[in-house]
Structure 1
């Protein structure tokens, strides 16, 4: 997708403003574990997506690690992360022990980010389906379509035009994510493309494509009040999409919002999970001593670093500039 100079400037300033807001509250980088294992269809865009996220990590004060090893889903390993990001996973990508560790992580305040076909994973695991928000049903062929911004105030959508023209897969779902308390931020404009499939399920209206949960519903009843956040976007099928700066801004805005849950150590030193550098005691969520917060075995670690906190004056100036750019984009 070709973007005008003014649009690129707007995207850049939006990301800068996202980082400034996050940095005011966050003195250490947040750690996010990207999990991209597949047991069924595998997207060839996964390496491109991982590279894009790692390249942009420092811009939002995030260190991304990546793994496809289900053995990393243990209490100890997950406790070192502020969020777990399922990237285009498919099928049964966790065993029972991994599922139990993941639910414990969520119960302790861990955050979740889901992208694209992760909604077609662990389809018989109730807590996971609730944490994602809805399971994938089917999609028409890859095609050009219009995505409507339903909520322009969310950090994942502030940089997007009201009608976003994109080439991607328009997912249909087996349920309405609003039924578990999710708030939809992007919807498919069904008049802009042809869907020759047969819908068997009620996914609600408008047609949901991306949403968030302020308190992820994958936790058990005992931990609902301490649940972290959940964000999901169904977009992200192709390499071209992951090379689109506007799409990346959408994803990074969702990541940044999710990490501001105040339930992990990047934002709350007394939290039970998250970057060990931010904890206020010498034990992790399992009660074991923590080490330096290095990446677990069989992961690749980014070179993300903490960024200096922005002053309120700088943020105000950036906001004014963004306002002017928005004005010129709409005139």
Structure 2
């Protein structure tokens, strides 16, 4: 049974022009993965029941306060039950009033210099999100600076991280099951969503999060996720 992934792209502040392109890109590649996507901007779906259908939740270029108190509590509950989390680009500028979300992202956005071609140094090529990337990856995108160093919570290579993962989501409450978290600061432009290396990076990030096997698609004891079909 494929893993099921909910992609949430609601905005309450700046809205990226690339959101529609990113949805199209992910949808077009679903058949080449072992997971399937559902897309929404409906915050009312964040209840204890609806997220429980998914093996991972992706926050895609969100901004501002995109969940009400009920939705925030539902997201925390989902993560406490072993749900996996992925954040992309401007997701680091969402839910700044919600400390557990900041911990799950790893760091909140601070500012960025002008759009420019930059070199991303791959310090760990063993993760699915970096496997196959060149050691020095040239990309045209916004290079985020963050309000804190995510390595304060977990080890992540050399200075100025732009993408990272957490083996155990940092916001999960004591005594609960921790899934994984993965974040990339890349994903600003429409054009980058047509870049095969970048899409490999994003899809690999989702794969890496799902690989912890805390959810039903991979673990019959999982408390959230897409349950395998009985035969």
TM range (shorter): over 0.9
CA displacement, residues 152-211 of structure 1 (integer Å, 9 cap, x when unaligned): 111111111111111000100011111122535xxxxxxxxxxxxxxxxxxxx5101000
Residue in 2 that maps onto 1:217? 170
Do the aligned partners of 1:119 and 1:132 also contact (CA within 8 Å) in 2?
A: yes
Do the aligned partners of 1:183 and 1:213 also contact (CA within 8 Å) in 2?
A: no
Number of residues of Structure 1 aligned to a counterpart in Structure 2: 231
Larger helix percent = 1
Structure of higher CA gyration radius: 1
Runs of 4+ in 1 over 6 A off after TM superposition: none
Which of 19, 27, 39 aligns to 2:12? It is: 39
Shift, 1:222, TM fit: 2.3
Residue in 2 that maps onto 1:98? 71
1: distance between equivalents of 2:229 and 2:109? 36
Which of 113, 117, 124 aligns to 1:140? It is: 113
Shift, 1:278, TM fit: 5.4
Residue in 2 that maps onto 1:111? 84
**Secondary structure of 2:222's aligned partner:** coil
Do the aligned partners of 2:220 and 2:227 also contact (CA within 8 Å) in 1?
A: no
Residue in 2 that maps onto 1:127? 100
**Secondary structure of 1:34's aligned partner:** strand
Which of 135, 146, 149 aligns to 1:162? It is: 135
2: distance between equivalents of 1:31 and 1:278? 13
1: distance between equivalents of 2:155 and 2:189? 26
Residue in 2 that maps onto 1:260? 211
Residue in 2 that maps onto 1:271? 222
**Secondary structure of 2:39's aligned partner:** strand
2: distance between equivalents of 1:33 and 1:278? 19
Residue in 2 that maps onto 1:187? none
Residue in 2 that maps onto 1:79? 52
Residue in 1 that maps onto 2:202? 251
Shift, 1:276, TM fit: 3.2
2: distance between equivalents of 1:70 and 1:183? 32
Residue in 2 that maps onto 1:229? 180
**Secondary structure of 2:225's aligned partner:** coil
TM-score by length of 1: 0.68
Do the aligned partners of 1:182 and 1:212 also contact (CA within 8 Å) in 2?
A: no
2: distance between equivalents of 1:173 and 1:122? 15
1: distance between equivalents of 2:195 and 2:58? 20
Which of 145, 148, 153 aligns to 1:172? It is: 145
TM-score by length of 2: 0.97
CA distance 1:209–1:278, change in 2 (3 Å) = farther
Do the aligned partners of 2:95 and 2:101 also contact (CA within 8 Å) in 1?
A: yes
**Secondary structure of 1:160's aligned partner:** coil
Which of 118, 138, 160 aligns to 1:207? It is: 160
Worse-superposed segment, 50-59 or 242-251: 50-59
CA displacement, residues 241-269 of structure 1 (integer Å, 9 cap, x when unaligned): 00000100011111111111111011101
Do the aligned partners of 2:164 and 2:183 also contact (CA within 8 Å) in 1?
A: yes
CA distance 1:104–1:176, change in 2 (3 Å) = same
